[in-house]
Structure 1
Amino acid sequence: MSGSNVWSRSREKLKLFPEIFAQCADEAAIYGKCVSDTTTGKQELKKDLCAREFEALKMCFRNAVSGAVQGPCSGV
């Protein structure tokens, strides 16, 4: 049995998560603030209230992941 199974690959990707998340800390904070501000008291979060902030966070994650997968010098 080989060590390069789906679990090994998943573990390797998860090891990158703290670095990727750190690259998107500002976007995550803005999204979190939006969610917090729109759910005061017992109010539930409604769809699309923070869509713009979520899209910015999602795009940041996508860019960070593609950079981590390609490596810092892949475009040279």
Structure 2
Amino acid sequence: MSGSNVWARSRDRLRRFPELLTQCGAEAAAYGKCVSATTTTGTQELRKGLCAREFEALKRCFVSAAKKSVK
């Protein structure tokens, strides 16, 4: 496997990210609100698992959107 192919695939995925994000706006907003709420409670520290449910919803949306947009 050529190293340049790996970078080309990575660049292609990154170029699609804005399109996928627009398809998952509600999930991204919910995750962002959770992160914001957990870091404004005085500790300013985000710990693993605090927004796991919202993150999983966003991840599922991205995967679903990516599958739909595969050429």
List runs of 5+ in structure 1 lacking aligned partners. Answer: 72-76
Sequence identity of aligned pairs in percent?
A: 66
Report how many aligned residue pairs link the two structures.
Answer: 68
Shift of 1:67: 1.0
Match of 1:52 in 2: 53
TM-score, normalisation: structure 1: 0.74
Match of 1:16 in 2: 16
TM-score, normalisation: structure 2: 0.78
User: 2:45 aligns to what SS in structure 1?
Assistant: coil
User: 1:45 aligns to what SS in structure 2?
Assistant: coil
How far apart in 2 are the matches of 1:14 and 1:23?
15
List runs of 5+ in structure 2 lacking aligned partners. Answer: none
Q: Cα RMSD between the aligned structures?
A: 2.0
Structure with the greater alpha carbon radius of gyration: 1
Q: Which has the higher helix share?
A: 2
